[in-house]
Chain A
Amino acid sequence: QQQVKQSPQSLIVQKGGISIINCAYENTAFDYFPWYQQFPGKGPALLIAIRPDVSEKKEGRFTISFNKSAKQFSLHIMDSQPGDSATYFCAASISGANSKLTFGKGITLSVRP
């Protein structure tokens, strides 16, 4: 059973538009939700993360929205740029001893100029 599910599988957005990537999780014990960004030929890197005690976190053009009752969280990229074209992974973990980060399958975002 996949614990973290991303949608859509791929996304094409025009420059200046808003990119929205969704993630749903199964385990209500998850208490940390990061997004990782991966450029072609590179390893993933932490982009932004949220804990369930807040409903939204914003860092520059990137915002995470969190809906605890729906067990969903999403990444919004405002004013999308061609340089945002990458693969995005959502993930989740449970804090504490022996914590383990569970990744979604990733989605490829293409921002057209």
Chain B
Amino acid sequence: NAGVTQTPKFQVLKTGQSMTLQCAQDMNHEYMSWYRQDPGMGLRLIHYSVGAGITDQGEVPNGYNVSRSTTEDFPLRLLSAAPSQTSVYFCASSYSPIDRGGLNSPLHFGNGTRLTVT
């Protein structure tokens, strides 16, 4: 199993450009999520999904869109990039759509996408 795969690893965008960060998992996990990691801010939840066709907002959703058409894929879209979106983005998944990161369903993270917006 490859686990959680994120592409690209690095990306530089100009303000106003759009792009999609890809995330795929091969563990048949129902729950998938996107976090951003910024210095001194820890991991903040952007959007999450408890199954195909179901998505919801996390604590910092503004400026980002998601969709979940299959169990395996959960892309994150930046519609109009801003310098404040410069960050490292992590996709994470877990087996249970209810016990998300809990005792019986730990979170599995990808290796991240480092995004710079100039």
Contact = CB atoms under 8 A, between A and B. Distances in A.
A109 to B, nearest CB: 15
Nearest to A100: B100
Contacts of B107: 36, 44, 46, 101
Interface majority SS (helix, strand, loop, mixed), chain A:
loop
Nearest to B44: A103
Interface residues on A, range: 20 to 34
Interface of B, helix, strand, loop or mixed by DSSP = loop
B57 to A, nearest CB: 12
A97 interface: yes
Nearest to A93: B102
Which of A32, A44, A89, A98 has the most C-beta atoms of chain B within 10 angstroms of its own C-beta?
A: A44
Interface of A: 32, 34, 36, 41-46, 49, 51, 89, 91, 93, 95-101, 103-106
Interface of B: 4, 40-43, 45, 90, 92, 98-103, 106-112
